[in-house]
Amino acid sequence: MNYYSTNGSAPGASLQEAVVRGLAPDKGLYMPEKISRLPKEFFDEIGNSGLTDIAKTVAHAFFGGDIPKATLDKMVADTLNFEIPLVKVEEGIYVLELFHGPTFAFKDVGARFMARMLSYFVQEQEQEEVNVLVATSGDTGSAVANGFLGVKGIRVFVLYPSGKVSDIQEAQFTTLGQNIVALEVDGTFDDCQSLVKSAFMDEELNSQMNLTSANSINVARFIPQSFYYFHACAQLPKQELDTVISVPSGNLGNLTAGLFAKRMGLPVKRFIAANNRNDVFREYLQSGKYSPRASVQTVANAMDVGAPSNFHRILDLYGHSHEAISKDISGYRFSDEEIKSAIKRVYESSGYLLDPHGACAYLALKEGKKAGETGIFLATAHPAKFKETVENCIEKEIEIPEGLKAFMKQKKQSLPLSREFSQFKNCLNSLRKK
Ligand SMILES: *Cc1c(COP(=O)(O)O)cnc(C)c1O
């Protein structure tokens, strides 16, 4: 299948080109030419199917024309080597736990799939070595670094703001070694992001090395996120037609994948976009006006995004109709105080422990769900990743899972970097020659 750019002035790209490039040459986002409806038999049987089988069918609909079936099936199975259970929290409200992967956050799904797909292109399709650049405020870096660890033909550079990510997060991408290089930038997350952007714009660098992005602009990262929406509906006790799904939103990659799933026939009535104080998307849903702005820091920091990168995919998907978009999605916003008190309240009333991102989605679901509707919200990170915040809310110590502790025991390896692009460029050049 070919991919077109949302900006409309780049030529169509093959899957391989779209994945290796990340962003289209006209700076638009790649979209698949077709989003097929899945057959009725798939939905008739969905309640009896497991995560991997469901995901194989969905993956086939997108990538079946480009990757041999056995290879694609293996990619899916290797990606999803952990569970994604749907758990009842209270009457009519379920949580989809997306945090059972190796870095305890939902980004494991997209990052692990993208690593395998890129590795297929490098190993089977004579693609030259690829260098993945990723700026992170925490979770993206860990999921991408762990997803790509040890994959031949791919080197990953993780840029992160020194002193501004939690110890657990830092340990998850600075202790790996092998093909993962952690660059500790003396600056903010925005500085890291602008270094990455400058590298993508630098013709000299691009002519010497294949640079690509592993954030959710990449089709190989965001499309696989549609897998688990089908698995969520499959796990509901009855196949209900009045289901609404609430998604904690930042760059809107997760929500966009859900909207793709709906286009493929996912039996949900509508989506709810949960925002923290960075509510540019909620404002758009209400007013039809999109006004990106600088982000502010909140307790749900993976959603601190002022200019959501997948917004234009949503516009494109709905033919730029605000009416159609706001019919399928409603938006709500919550302050840090509201998020923190929800963590405490839900823990005390049901014993269920939320992380700040899941708590924001829970609140949005409570507000947006009508009586008689079944609600699912997505829990995108394990509460232990936000240990301090969560412990302050419930006034109790929480357990860190063994898998998370293991990262903390390894030795940190990172290269210090200033905010100067010339230094970053020299660094890429010197590492390239090794
Ligand atoms: C990245 C992230 C989000 C936001 O997802 P988007 O696809 O960027 O909207 C929400 N929660 C957690 C824990 C994340 O890491």
For 179-223, the three-class secondary structure string (H helix, E strand, C coil) is: CEEEEEECCCHHHHHHHHHHHHHCHHHHHHCEEEECCCCCHHHHH
What percent of the chain shows pLDDT beyond 90? 80
Q: How confident is the model at residue 289 (pLDDT cuts 50, 70, 90)?
A: very high
Among 109, 181, 85, 137, residue whose Cα is nearest residue 414: 181
249 alpha carbon – ligand 1 mean position (Å): 6
262-275 residue pLDDT tens: 999 999 999 999 99
Q: Which domain holds residue 298?
A: 83-104+222-398
Q: At 95, phi and psi to the nearest 5?
A: -115, 135
- 370 within some domain: yes
d(CA 28, CA 381): 29
Cβ–ligand 1 distance for 250 under 6 Å, the answer: yes
d(CA 193, CA 217): 14
pTM of the model: 0.94
426 alpha carbon – ligand 1 mean position (Å): 32
H or E segment to which residue 150 belongs: none
- 280 within some domain: yes
- 403 within some domain: no
- How distant, in Å, are the alpha carbons of 88, 107, 261, 300, 405 from that of 385? 22, 13, 28, 11, 11
- 367 within some domain: yes
Our answer to whether residue 27 is catalytic in this structure is no
- 287 within some domain: yes
What is the identity of the amino acid at 384?
Answer: A
237-266 residue pLDDT tens: 876 669 999 999 999 999 999 999 999 999
| Residues whose CB is less than 8 angstroms from the CB of residue 356 and which lie 6 or more positions away in sequence, other chains included | 298, 299, 300, 301, 339, 340, 343, 386, 389, 390
H-assigned helices in 307-401? 311-317, 322-328, 336-350, 356-368, 387-394
390: CATH: 3.40.50.1100
Residue of 357, 377, 385 best suited for mutating to test ligand 1, as the one with most atoms within 8 Å of CB: 357
Q: Which of 27, 34, 107, 405 is catalytic?
A: 107
What is the identity of the amino acid at 190?
Answer: D
Nearest-CA residue for atom 1 of ligand 1: 302
- 245 within some domain: yes
Give the total number of structural domains in the chain. 1
| Residues whose CB is less than 8 angstroms from the CB of residue 246 and which lie 6 or more positions away in sequence, other chains included | 271, 272, 273, 274, 361, 362, 364, 365, 368, 369, 375, 376, 377, 378
326 alpha carbon – ligand 1 mean position (Å): 21
- 316 within some domain: yes
- Using the predicted structure, report yes or no on whether residue 343 has a pLDDT greater than 90: yes
- 259 within some domain: yes
